[in-house]
Structure 1
Amino acid sequence: MEIKIPDQLSTLGHPQRLAIFRLLMRRYPDRVPAGEIATALGVKASTMSAYLALLMRADLVRQRRAGTSMLYSINMTTVQSLFGYLFSDCCRGRPDICMPFSTGTVPMPDRKHNVLFICVGNSARSIFAESVLRKTAGDRFNAYSAGTRPASRLNPFAMQLLQDKGHDISVLRSKDISEFSGPDAPHFDFVFTVCDQAANEECPAWEGQPVSGHWGIPDPARATGNDAQKALAFHRAYRALKHRIGLFTALNLESLNRIAIQNSVDEIGRANLEERA
């Protein structure tokens, strides 16, 4: 393993290869098409292919074929070994030097937790998630949502669906993610991206190391057809998020440490739900 460490660090030393690695880490456990990565980072397809080949040669990224597409994901086993080597060898296993590594076995505090859901427009999917969590487990969680490029208004199909489901839509508005990065912003225990595009983007570093997850849901606003067909797309997105949030709220957070909670969050992201069929 030690023989590979210099190659892996050298591979990650290139800015654009590091950007690919960081994007795939944000999208974990998703498998992402090369074209989507290239578009998100503004890299030519031929250049992206070369960068991915080097990342695979360093065993940091895995490739899998799906039909005619090649999908890429983080090789988490290798990444964990790399980080573990740096911690044990370079930091000598000292938590006072490498503090981020000392928090994984600490239990979650027994209190009401703050949860932020992020998408691009903050007009449907993240609004769904905020509303569902507030209604189903508002006694245990404070629910928030934001967008990386928020829309000027909430999607009318989404608002009608939430109203029909008995949610209070008077408290909802489209918000920029910057609202939650200032000194007076809430301290977040959990941050979830619910659309692939938001996860592909650079988001602010959240203080306090919240548990993070990617629960990508296809954008219902892109649905075509008549109003009934469009409304069906919003119903599917709502049901998928409600199911994932149900799995999340069923976790006994007070009895689990951060590593166990993070693993559970990732497993929920892997769920073979309707929107991934």
Structure 2
Amino acid sequence: MEIVVPNRLSVLGHPQRLAVFRLLMRRYPDRIPATELARALDLKPNTLSTYVNALMQAGLVTQERVGTSLRYAVDMDATRETFDYLLLDCCRGRPEICSLNAYAALSGSNAMPDQKYDVLFICTGNSARSIFAEAILRDVAGDRFVAYSAGTKPRSELNPFALEVLKKNGHDVGLLRSKNLAEFQSAEAPAFDFVFTVCNQAANEECPAWHGQPVSAHWGLPDPVKIDGSDAEKSLAFQQAYDALRNRIIAFTALPFASLNRVSLQKAVDDLGQTTIGNFA
């Protein structure tokens, strides 16, 4: 450990290697194709290969071959081991030297407080998937959750196929609009309890840390906006995205929040993002 951790810290001390590690952390527990990593970070394939090889040699990242594609994920056990060394071994639990309050809050045994939770869904355009999630959560469990959605690069209008699906499923679309993520990053914005990304592009983008350390997860779904074909085929793609999100949100609202500590709750929402639901997960 005395040798391993300094080596890991040295590897993470390189800005570009740290950027790869941080992106993989944002997408955990997904395994990300090398091509997507390179595209998201604007790196040449051979440069990315050098960075991920260094992270793998340090034990921070694992590799898996799926067909002809190499996919990467954070080794969470090694990451926790590294953080434990810094926060518990070096500081020896002395709060006057190292503040352990945030770490304790993340790893503590207390369940989530009994309250009405603020939930934010993020995608790039905020014209379909995140709008679906906002509308679904509001109608399924609006007595226990306040639902919001936003886009990193929001479109000016909601997608007409998305509006058609929402209306067909009985949702009131009058209050729905595309919103910029910046709207929820001001001092006046709600302190979110949960933040979910529902598209890979938004999850890959660099965003500031959220105030209050909300439970966050990636529930990526293919973008129905990119479907080519007839109007009937496009409508089907939007309906499939809607159905997948509805199933995940119903499962989310059924979680036993009163009996889950933060670590267990984080695992539960991560697992929901990994479930295969219909043709859209």
- The answer to whether structure 1 residue 259 and structure 2 residue 260 are counterparts is no
The CA distance in 2 between the partners of 1:95 and 1:65, in whole Å, is: 44
Structure 1 residue 91: deviation in Å?
2.2
Of 198, 207, 210, the match for 1:203:
207
What are the equivalent positions in structure 2 for 1:64-213 lying under 5 Å apart?
A: 64-94=64-94, 97-103=99-105, 104-105=107-108, 106-213=110-217
Superposition TM-score, scaled by structure 2 size? 0.96
Instruction: Give the fraction of aligned pairs with identical amino acids, expressed as a percent.
Output: 59
Output aligned runs, 1:225-244, within 5 Å: 225-244=229-248
Deviation at 1:276, TM superposition (A): 5.7
CA contact (8 A) 2:244 2:280 kept: no
Once the two structures are TM-superposed, the CA of residue 99 in structure 1 deviates from its matched residue by: 1.9
Per-residue Cα deviation, 1:187-235 (whole angstroms, up to 9, x for no partner): 1000000000000001121101100000000000000110111111111
Task: Write out per-residue CA displacement over residues 212-266 of structure 1, whole angstroms, 9 at most, x where no aligned residue.
Answer: 0000000000001101111111111111111111111111112211111111111
| Alpha-carbon RMSD | 1.2
CA contact (8 A) 1:95 1:101 kept: no
Over 3 Å counting, the alpha-carbon distance change for 1:16 and 1:276 in structure 2 is: farther
Are 1:44 and 2:48 matched, yes or no? no
Deviations 1:114-157 (A, max 9, x none): 00000000000000000110010000000000000000100000
- Identify the residue that residue 250 of structure 1 maps to in structure 2: 254
Tell me how far apart the structure 1 counterparts of residues 235 and 266 of structure 2 sit (CA, whole Å): 33
Residues in 2 aligned to 1:134 and 1:247: alpha-carbon distance in whole angstroms: 14
> SS at the partner of 1:139?
coil
Contact 1:95 1:102 in 2 (8 A): no
Conserved? CA contact 1:117–1:191, under 8 Å = yes
For this pair of structures, how many residues does the alignment match? 277
**What are structure 1's unaligned runs of at least 5 residues?**
none
Paired with 2:256 and 2:123, the residues of 1 have a C-alpha distance of 26
Give the superposition deviation at 1:78: 0.8
Extract structure 1 runs of 4+ deviating beyond 4 A: none
1:275 offset after TM fit, Å?
4.4
Cα 1:131–1:276 change in 2 (3 A) is closer
The CA distance in 1 between the partners of 2:265 and 2:214, in whole Å, is: 11
User: Where do residues 5-16 of structure 1 align in structure 2 (5 Å cutoff)?
Assistant: 5-16=5-16
2:241–2:280 Cα contact (<8 Å) kept: no
1:59 alignment partner AA: G
Equivalent residue of 1:274, what SS? coil
SS of equivalent residue, structure 1 residue 170: coil
**Structure 2 Cα separation of the partners of residues 230 and 119 of structure 1:** 19
How big is the shift at 1:2? Answer: 3.0
Partners of 1:242 and 1:111 in 2: CA distance: 22
| Aligned counterparts of 2:255 and 2:94: Cα–Cα separation in 1 | 31
Q: Do the aligned partners of 2:240 and 2:280 also contact (CA within 8 Å) in 1? A: no
Other-structure match for 2:34: 34
